[in-house]
């Protein structure tokens, strides 16, 4: 336990250090302004300005605390390709609703199998790029016999823009629109998979009525109830319990949205996760009103639960159960969204 706490403290210190280094210019300028006002107008105005500036700097630095597209180094310029793992793929670019250009990989089963197989929309976590998840995707491709669409959020890898909560939601919707535009997949079996931050994105898109009809099943792994809850866990300051929600730039309120999910949902929880407390996955499972299952893997860590024995077998059983519950319902006709697609 002591080792785990020390590791968590080191990670928090590293993140805070990165934020301070990025914000040092703004912080120094604000400090000088406070000193000038203190000298001219007195203590009260200087303290008020200091509080205002401090909360403003913290508010806009939250993106640096949450999103890490440049970790590890060169993640914005080098994205491993599926062919490195022997996977056939299409390299794609689509436009999100606001015109942001997004990078995707579409990995499909060979020949006519792809038209019958389920298709997984893979939503990755808050660091690196989608290429860093290819080994996990290889397991999904082989063990579940599925197609996989990998999305690279805005500001990650080769996608344009900068990451934000609502931007990531829009990107996931654009990826689902892209799948709806294809005529060579089984639209009745689209699975949305999200790990960590991707789980929060997956819950949001599955909770939207206009997109719920496009989703057959939802799988979330080692995700959290909300960012305010995670801030209290990671930083541990009691003061954060009284911090108003509007001061959080990114909220990802999954606990409030999961009750609106209608698709069968599998919650995959690594009980050795020292970043996101496993109790949060149990809480999300309890709040979900759809048909759901909770898979707890004793040795699963935050990023490596997919390496646990029985992981893929459990996912396959969940999809098999969802298929049996649905029965032989005919596949709905695919809608025709105006998604702009660029093949590379």
Active centre residues (catalytic) = 196, 273, 302
Give, in degrees to the nearest 5, the angle at Cα 6 between 22 and 309.
105
CA pair distance 258, 261, nearest whole angstrom: 5
Q: What contacts 203, CB < 8 A, 6 or more positions away? A: 194, 218, 220, 223, 254, 257, 258, 261, 284
Tokens 């649905």 label which residue? 326
Work out the burial of residue 232: count CB atoms within 10 Å of its CB; fewer than 13 is exposed, 13-18 middle, 19 or more buried. Answer: middle
Cβ pair 234, 8 in contact under 8 A: yes
Residue 191: phi, psi to the nearest 5? -110, 130
């Amino acid at each position: 336990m002591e080792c785990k706490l020390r590791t968590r403290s080191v990670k928090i210190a590293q993140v805070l250090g990165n934020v301070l280094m990025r914000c040092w210019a703004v912080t120094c300028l604000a400090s000088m302004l406070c000193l000038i006002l203190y000298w001219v107008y007195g203590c009260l105005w200087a303290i008020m300005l200091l509080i205002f500036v401090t909360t403003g700097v913290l508010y806009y630095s939250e993106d640096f605390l949450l999103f890490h597209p440049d970790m590890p180094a060169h993640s914005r310029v080098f994205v491993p390709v599926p062919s490195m793992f022997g996977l056939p793929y299409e390299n794609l670019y689509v436009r999100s609703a606001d015109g942001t250009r997004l990078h995707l990989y579409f990995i499909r089963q060979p020949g006519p199998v792809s038209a019958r197989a389920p298709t997984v929309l893979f939503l990755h976590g808050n660091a690196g790029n989608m290429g860093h998840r290819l080994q996990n995707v290889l397991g999904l491709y082989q063990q579940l016999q599925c197609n996989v669409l990998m999305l690279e959020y805005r500001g990650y890898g080769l996608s344009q823009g900068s990451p934000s909560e609502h931007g990531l939601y829009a990107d996931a919707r654009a990826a689902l629109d892209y799948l709806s535009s294809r005529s060579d997949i089984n639209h009745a079996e689209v699975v949305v998979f999200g790990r960590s931050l991707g789980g929060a994105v997956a819950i949001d898109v599955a909770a939207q009525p206009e997109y719920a009809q496009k989703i057959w099943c939802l799988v979330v792994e080692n995700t959290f109830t909300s960012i305010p809850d995670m801030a209290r866990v990671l930083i541990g300051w009691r003061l954060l319990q009284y911090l108003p929600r509007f001061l959080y730039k990114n909220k990802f309120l999954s606990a409030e949205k999961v009750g609106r999910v209608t698709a069968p949902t599998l919650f995959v929880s690594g009980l050795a996760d020292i970043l996101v407390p496993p109790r949060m996955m149990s809480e999300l499972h309890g709040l979900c009103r759809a048909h759901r299952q909770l898979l707890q893997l004793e040795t699963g860590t935050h990023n490596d639960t997919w390496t646990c024995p029985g992981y893929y077998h459990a996912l396959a059983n969940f999809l098999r159960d969802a298929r049996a519950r649905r029965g032989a319902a005919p596949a709905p006709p695919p809608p025709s969204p105006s998604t702009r697609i660029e093949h590379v």
